[in-house]
A = this chain, B = another copy of it.
């Protein structure tokens, strides 16, 4: 599991006084950096290997401006050419949001999905995180 601490920003809020829901995909994508680095060391965009197929996010509670948010990130499924990242957002010891993202291992030159190598599967499985 990877853990990242996020400082909330005034611009993250919305008129209801809390963090707007559209920030979660942004926070979650940012917190997947260590996953991206398993595929692309140094995050060199010329060597990108992943495509995002879908994501889903559930909101469990209000997220407040002014208190740090902890994002927990891990792997909940490894398939033949795709895998799921499961993530949670925690604030003040409460789980305030959770989400799952499906990434496909993709060859941008050939423009098609490729089977994950055993090395990549192993690297992913080193960071398990289960959905409740």
Tell me the number of copies of this protein: 4
Q: Bin the interface of chain A by size.
A: 35 or more
Contact flags A42-82 to B (C-beta < 8 A → 1, else 0)? 11110010011111111100000110000000000000000
- Inside 8 A of A127's CB, which chain B residues have their CB? none
Determine the main DSSP class of A at the interface with B: mixed
- Residue A36 is within 8 A (CB to CB) of chain B in the complex: yes
Candidates B20, B26, B54, B59; contact of A53 at CB < 8 Å? B59
- Inside 8 A of A58's CB, which chain B residues have their CB? 53-54
Could you give 29 example pairs across A and B, Cβ below 8 Å? Answer: A7-B33, A9-B26, A9-B33, A10-B14, A10-B15, A10-B20, A10-B29, A10-B43, A13-B14, A13-B45, A14-B14, A15-B15, A15-B17, A16-B45, A16-B48, A21-B29, A21-B52, A21-B55, A22-B22, A22-B25, A22-B26, A22-B29, A25-B25, A42-B66, A52-B59, A54-B57, A54-B59, A55-B56, A56-B56
